[in-house]
Homo-oligomer: A and B are copies of this chain.
Amino acid sequence: MKLDNSNSNGQMSIAADVTPPNNSDDADEAFVPPLNFAMVDNGIFRSGFPDSANFGFLKSLRLRSVICLCPEPYPETTAEFLKASGIRLYQFGIDGCKEPFVNIPNDKIREALKVVLDVRNHPVLIHCKRGKHRTGCLVGCIRRLQRWCLSSIFDEYQRFAGAKARVSDQRFIELFDISSLKHNPLSFSCSKK
């Protein structure tokens, strides 16, 4: 499938001109990525909850969709920004409970994974509140599909969760049943574009 934002000749455009954030003419204005922002794979990003300071940076990613893993109503300013930018919002509300009252629901992670696996939604930003636990669980399941060994998956999870790392999240990632999604495995595919 050819995506609208693909370069017509497959050219790598990493050195392309940068669109100034916030549509400002000030080319030196700094980009402010959301908290805990990182690239997961081609077309897949992760972060904490974005706010208006991040809109310029998010614009530069030319996102097609956002997956929010928080159950609260989406903040109006951010919802308006997404709408104005033509970015589709997928919300899979998961409570941000603390141990030992943690219950990451299998079905919501599975539905979110299906959105992530569909390249028509790329580039996609996955976020929760702080980009640690719920986002970490979803990214951990992506890594399972990419056949990363568990120690590497947990290493990555812990890098984002820091002192807040939860054994229960890591257990969820380990036990999550990927068999039904295996027909569509993700590779770490940067070079295959």
Residues of A within 8 A of B (CB): 1-3, 5-19, 21, 28-33, 35-45, 57, 60-64, 117, 119, 122-123, 146-150, 152, 155-156, 159-160, 162, 184-193
Prevailing SS type, chain A contact patch = loop
A-B contact pairs, 23 of them (CB 8 A): A2-B10, A3-B12, A5-B191, A5-B192, A6-B11, A9-B10, A14-B119, A14-B189, A15-B184, A17-B185, A18-B146, A18-B186, A28-B147, A29-B147, A33-B148, A36-B155, A39-B41, A39-B188, A42-B193, A45-B190, A60-B187, A62-B191, A159-B162
Known: A31-B146, A187-B60. A10 touches B12 (CB 8 A): no
Residues in B whose Cβ lies below 8 Å from that of A33: 148, 152
